Amino acid sequence: MEIKKAIYLESNSDWRKCPKHNKPEFAFIGRSNVGKSSLINRLANHKDLAKTSSKPGKTLCINHFFMNESWYLVDLPGYGFAKISKDGRDKLDKMIKSYVLQREELVNLFVLVDSRLDPQQIDLDFLEFLGVNGVPFSLVFTKADKLSKGKLADNIQAYKTKLEEQWEELPPIFITSSETGQGKEELLDYIDSINQSLAEQ
Ligand code: GTP
Ligand code: MG
């Protein structure tokens, strides 16, 4: 699938204010600065659709994008953003978690993790939260361009091994780079396959 038309719709700080629609919705979540907004731009072939920054904490709302006039992609704030007050962080945490738990239109959550790092406790905790609550998710490794092929493969394998300690079955896994476009086709085809199976129901 190609995204031929990408439209920024609106930003909200509360899931209850998010647009009402009956189309499939996918969302990107992960630690602040992991590359959520950059990957959305890469998928949409659009440099500035979602706002990005080299500093963490750029995305602070729930942002809806309407793709190909048939499905929605949502850019969420990052979790674990250190440079704000505890109150601010708690508010963001609540915004993210209530969206994830309550938003009925959400069909799949993409959890982004930095391919350069060892499994981070904050990500493992978030995955556990999804598991406990039965939220369907996939795992997306970002910034693959920043590693050699060998190191990348080692890190992904280490991540899988860590997950296998906790999970009986691994989620779908994508390896991506917003810099080179790696993984873009696989990710879009996966979204397309979910959309098609929903349309057949
Ligand atoms: P918040 O909105 O703050 O939660 O961050 P985010 O997850 O949306 O990250 P964002 O897309 O703003 O990217 C953070 C930084 O990482 C920016 O400087 C991007 O240019 C850089 N970046 C994102 N993806 C990639 C990638 O695949 N490769 C490289 N080399 N840099 C990337
Ligand atoms: Mg962002």
Q: What is the pLDDT of residue 83?
A: 75
Q: What is the pLDDT of residue 59?
A: 84
58 lines ligand 1 (CB under 6 A): yes
Q: Are 59 and 50 in contact (CB under 8 A)?
A: yes
User: What's the gap in Å between 168 CA and the centre of ligand 2?
Assistant: 31
Mutate to test the pocket of ligand 1, among 32, 53, 74, 122 (most ligand atoms within 8 A of CB): 53
Q: What's the pTM value of the predicted model, to 2 decimals?
A: 0.96
For 46-72, the pLDDT digits (tens) are 999 999 999 888 888 999 999 999 999
Among residues 104, 115, 100, 92, the alpha carbon closest in space to that of 176 is found at 115
41 lines ligand 1 (CB under 6 A): no
User: What's the gap in Å between 111 CA and the centre of ligand 2?
Assistant: 13
Q: Is 151 left (phi over 0), alpha (psi -120 to 50) or beta?
A: alpha
Q: Are 105 and 24 in contact (CB under 8 A)?
A: yes
Q: What is the pLDDT of residue 87?
A: 86
53 lines ligand 1 (CB under 6 A): yes
Low-confidence ranges of the chain (pLDDT < 70): 82
